[in-house]
A and B are shown apart, each in its own frame.
Chain A
Amino acid sequence: MQYEIRQRPNFSIARITFDAPGEELVVEAAAMVAKDSAVTMKTSMRGGLLGAAKRKMLGGESLFQNTFTATRAGETIWVAPAAEGDMAAFDMDGQQPLYLSSGNYIASGPGITLDSQFQGLKGFFSGTSFFMLEAKGQGPLLIGSYGGIHPVQVGPAGYIVDNYHIVAFTGGLQYNVRRVGGLKSIFGGSEGLVCHFHGQGTVWISTRSAASLARFLHPYRPVESKS
């Protein structure tokens, strides 16, 4: 299959063109925008009930994913993320896994498997857990983010990224999670967990965070009346 990302960078959408009948694309629930009517859709829980439930609870993805199958060559399907922002495409080579933050998965070829991975947490004061989706296998993988997607090559010195801004990173990187800020965290400051990456690889960073947008909107919600 061929794909191209259009309307970049603020309202990106991917158009996938199937090369042959029988070709499949797995799409996150609600990410399908448009398709040729002959393309068939099957809803399933990938990895069975347990695998799907784990992915939903831990990775934040939906319980169900849709598999779209071409009936002849040249058929197309369009997929897009929910938030305004960019998309990125990866041609997975079957060698190196890619780790995705929850909620960023959009679509993939049938050769890609997804699994929720607890990424551990090294930090005494932190009560927050940290889960990522591990994408493995061969074929195309499409992800989407709120905001722009900024790649950073991690050099020998390493790189630190705010957890809410991690979109994806290559499997070859080592990292540990920690809390930043001394005084500030005692007083409940806003910066939370960061990921300190080491080794050789790439981290993709989003330039906006849905969590901080939610924090901005929260005070504007109506207040529940006590009566």
Chain B
Amino acid sequence: MRYQLLYQPVSTMAQFDLEQGEQLLVEPGAMVGMTPGLDMITGLAKQSGGGGIFGAITAAAGRLLAGESFFQNTFTATRGPEQLLLAHTLPGDMAMIDVQGAGLKLQSTAFVASTPGVQTTGEFGGARTFFGGEGLFLLSATANAPNQQILIGAFGGIQELQCNGSLVIDTGHLVAWDASLTFNVTKASSGWISSYLTGEGLVCSFQGQGRIWMQTRNPPEFGSKVGRLLPPRTN
């Protein structure tokens, strides 16, 4: 499967050229354009290792909980070479990242698409997120075949970091990280009051060795800056 990232870094759009038989799993809403020969099947997000229909529903419910759509679209080039254009919502960059070893964790809204051998399930980033203004809802991605990749979409630029030991990142700036890293979500400062006063909300504290991708802008921060200037909503 060949792909190109066009209009980087602000208006980035991904163009996939699929050979006959190739597949891509896509977040509903990400499809911008496509050749008509691509078959699109809307389905529940797949569950790894059996589990039957109950497992599939559990996985899908997890994705729903994680703020992702309940469904995932599978695009298949059944008849010949086809093209698919994908984009996400906010201005910013996209990147294809490899799913290695223990897999990846993703901030739920960062997922745009993946190769067919990737399974995603939703999970909470810990009970602490219940108390914070910004929740950390996660997708857990694992690969059941070699050379699997995920297309991530960010708000702003994408900065890859290497965690050697420990690292602290604001949850709103997190995009994805290697599942080999252990993490916990905490307040940025020691007390709730100073945490409130400084405006530094929740941070993710990582331990171990692995890759971390962060976005240079923070979607909830932007949302609340602009949102409070809008007229109130009734629903």
Contact = CB atoms under 8 A, between A and B. Distances in A.
Do A and B truly interact? yes
Interface of A: 9-10, 84-86, 147-148, 150, 152, 157-162, 165, 180-184, 187, 189-191, 196, 203, 205, 207-209, 212-213, 215-225
B33 interface: yes
Nearest to A182: B42
B contact residues, range: 35 or more
Contacts of B69: 184, 189-190
Contact of A184 (B71, B85, B91): B71
22 contacts: A9-B11, A84-B91, A147-B7, A147-B13, A148-B11, A148-B13, A157-B35, A161-B33, A162-B31, A180-B31, A184-B42, A184-B69, A189-B28, A191-B28, A205-B32, A207-B32, A217-B223, A217-B227, A220-B223, A223-B232, A224-B233, A225-B232
A82 to B, nearest CB: 14
Which 3 residue pairs of A and B lie closest in terms of their CB atoms, listed nearest first?
A: A220-B227, A148-B7, A190-B29
Given A150-B7, A181-B73, A190-B29, A159 B34 contact: yes
Interface string B20-41: 0000000011011111110010
A226 to B, nearest CB: 9
Given A84-B91, A85-B11, A212-B89, A180 B32 contact: no
A222 B224 CA distance: 9
B32 A181 contact: no
Contacts of A189: 28-29, 42, 69-71
A207 B11 contact: yes
Given A216-B223, A220-B223, A148 B36 contact: no
A182 B70 CA distance: 13
A212 B29 contact: yes
A201 to B, nearest CB: 14
B10 interface: yes
Contact of A224 (B10, B224, B232): B232
B40 A180 contact: yes
B219 interface: yes
Nearest to A164: B32
B73 A150 contact: no
Contacts of A147: 7, 11, 13, 87, 91
B226 A220 contact: yes
B232 to A, nearest CB: 4
Which one of A9, A180, A190, A207 has the highest number of Cβ atoms from chain B below 10 Å of its Cβ?
A: A207
B231 interface: yes
A10 B157 CA distance: 14
A140 to B, nearest CB: 24
Nearest to A208: B11
B127 interface: no
Contact of B32 (A84, A162, A215, A222): A162
A195 to B, nearest CB: 9
A208 B29 contact: no
B230 interface: yes
Contact of B10 (A84, A157, A180): A84
B7 A207 contact: yes
B102 interface: no
B28 A190 contact: yes
Nearest to A220: B227
Given A182-B42, A217-B223, A161 B32 contact: yes
A158 B227 CA distance: 40
A203 B35 CA distance: 12
A191 B31 contact: yes
A219 B222 CA distance: 12
A181 B73 CA distance: 8
A217 B12 CA distance: 20
A220 B90 CA distance: 15
B53 interface: no
A10 B10 contact: yes
B11 A205 contact: no
Contact of A207 (B34, B36, B87, B233): B87
B169 to A, nearest CB: 22
Contact of B13 (A150, A159, A215, A222): A150
A224 B234 contact: yes
